[in-house]
Amino acid sequence: MVRVRFAPSPTGYLHIGSARTFIFNWLYARHNSGTMILRIDDTDVERNTQQSLDSIFDGLKWLELGWDEFYRQSERLDLHRAATLSILDKGLAYRDFTPAHADAEDKDRTGSTWLFNPGAREVSKEESDRRAAAGEPFVIRYLVPRDQDRVVSFNDAVYGEQTKSCADIEDFALLRSNGGPTYHMASCADDADLRITHIIRGQDHLTNTFKHVLIFEALDVTPPVFAHLPLLIAPDGAKLSKRKHGPVVSVTTYRDGGFLSHAYVNFLCLLGWSPKDDREQMTRQELTDVFTFGGINRSNAVVNFTEEDPFDPKAVWLNSSLIRTLPLDDLSRELMPFAQAAGFDATPEKLRAVTPLIQERIKTLKDIGEVADFFFIDELKPYDPAELVPQKGDSAMALSVLKRAREVLADCVFDHDGLESSLRAAAGPLNVKAGQMFQPVRVAVCGRKNAPPLFETLQVLGRDTCLRRIDRAIQMLS
């Protein structure tokens, strides 16, 4: 039975790299009919914030993936402590009474790594127990074997066979002097207790894994399968960080920017993983069906954004093409919050009528604010009267076209076919081409040259609004 977990620590918003880790865990769980666990790794009391926890839930909720079990490490501290003590009892760890940061100064990393504090490993069990009982502060460290040629190894499902000499592993801490477990200890104790079968996480943990293998062994537990994921990086090659790269690293930025979560999940899946065929646009079911560790890459993936445009063009493309395939009722519903945010007085009926006209013209849901404004506002924003002049025409032509169009629209059948045939028929006598006939009307009614197809647009706007706007345009030209 497959059991996987996503274990964020609430010390920041939900990072897009974390979101991808969640998604891959979820996909693996679903693919194998396993269990998806959400565990909040909140052992660092100093840095945890409620705001961050809220933002993580916010982001995960938007992804609409869900989980089967939920835990918080802060509620399981007794378990972590007991596990640490069992390791101490087995003689595989020791108390280090060296004050914290005592070695902060010898940063001259000219030689090799720091391995342990001098003398700390040699304190006898009796003395150690006595000093601890006397209330002297200490940290519990793993007693990394120091015999020659000792190595730790594991087989990563993505990166393959990994081996590291114990000579390169320091005596890492398990329990802090305040009694709280370190990340390594808490994480492994919980993974063991929760019977996690596969640990899928960022490659930044690859070298930590040797420590984890040591802990699992000390706990008499077979280590789970490890699958490390390549990291997501910025175009400048640096790790994505809020300070340096701004809001692009937060999933809520994509949500608020008008992405469909399904498109966004699709995009994230394509970063560091491939179905190995040429498919790119995939449904959640397709992703679940085809997801395996074999498709995961080993090199870091760049999220392609710029200062001006925070969204990766591929994500935008995935989003716009998904928007185009959405049933109109669904799309209309998705659009509503963005129409409201744009300040539009949008009834569901009106929005539903507008939706087909903008469906293939918006790349994000938020674009409705730019693309569909003239459907919802009363008075058009001021525009340059020169816009009313058709190709190869002049303002006199614009004026005569608009005057005639006004007459035509006043009493033609006000639907697509009626409007088209009437306006086309009106072009001939005026000695203008159909395009020259349509353009002034379009601008008069929409306030700009680029707009959805004319006849549908006129129909949705209604006769009154159209006539009123044409009258205004005629005034502007007179």
> For RNA, which is the closer residue by CB, 180 or 246?
180
Instruction: Give the three-state DSSP class for 457.
Output: helix
CA end-to-end span of the chain, whole Å? 78
3-class DSSP state of 116: coil
Shortest Å, Cβ 411 to RNA: 21
What is each CA distance from 102 to 45, 46, 449, in whole angstroms? 23, 21, 71
**Is the Cβ of residue 285 or residue 450 nearer to RNA in the bound state?**
450
Instruction: Read off the tokens for 303.
Output: 């999220």
Nearer to RNA, 65 or 232 (CB): 232
User: DSSP per residue over 269-306, as a string?
Assistant: HTSSB--SSS-----HHHHHHH--GGGB-SS-EE----
What SS3 class is residue 252?
Answer: helix
Contact 445, 388 (CB under 8 A): no
Contacts of 48 (CB under 8 A, 6+ apart): 9, 10, 11, 42, 74
Number of H helices, E strands in the chain: 20, 12
Retrieve residue 114's tokens. Answer: 């720091």
CB of 120 to RNA, least distance (A): 10
Residue of 344, 398, 392, 395 whose CA lies nearest to 368: 344
Q: How far is the CB of 12 from RNA (least distance, A)?
A: 10
- Which residue lies nearer to RNA by CB, 137 or 418? 137
3-state secondary structure of 23: helix
3-state secondary structure 49-64: CHHHHHHHHHHHHHHC
Q: Are 252 and 13 in contact (CB under 8 A)?
A: yes
Between 222 and 297, CB nearer to RNA: 297
Determine which helix (DSSP H) or strand (DSSP E) holds 428, and give its type and residue range.
helix 416-430
CB of 301 to RNA, least distance (A): 4
> In whole angstroms, how close is the CB of 33 to RNA at the nearest point?
25
For residue 284, the one-letter residue type is: R
CB 144 to RNA: min, Å: 12
Nearer to RNA, 134 or 347 (CB): 134
Residue 212 backbone class (left: φ over 0; alpha: ψ -120 to 50; beta: rest): alpha
CA 442, 446, 447, 449 torsion-angle sign: negative
Find the catalytic residue in 61, 90, 125, 242: 242
- Supply the minimum distance, in Å, between the C-beta of residue 1 and RNA: 25
Q: Pick the closer one to RNA by CB: 327 or 478.
A: 327
Cβ neighbours of 427 (radius 10 Å)? 18
403 tagged catalytic: no
Annotated catalytic residues are 242
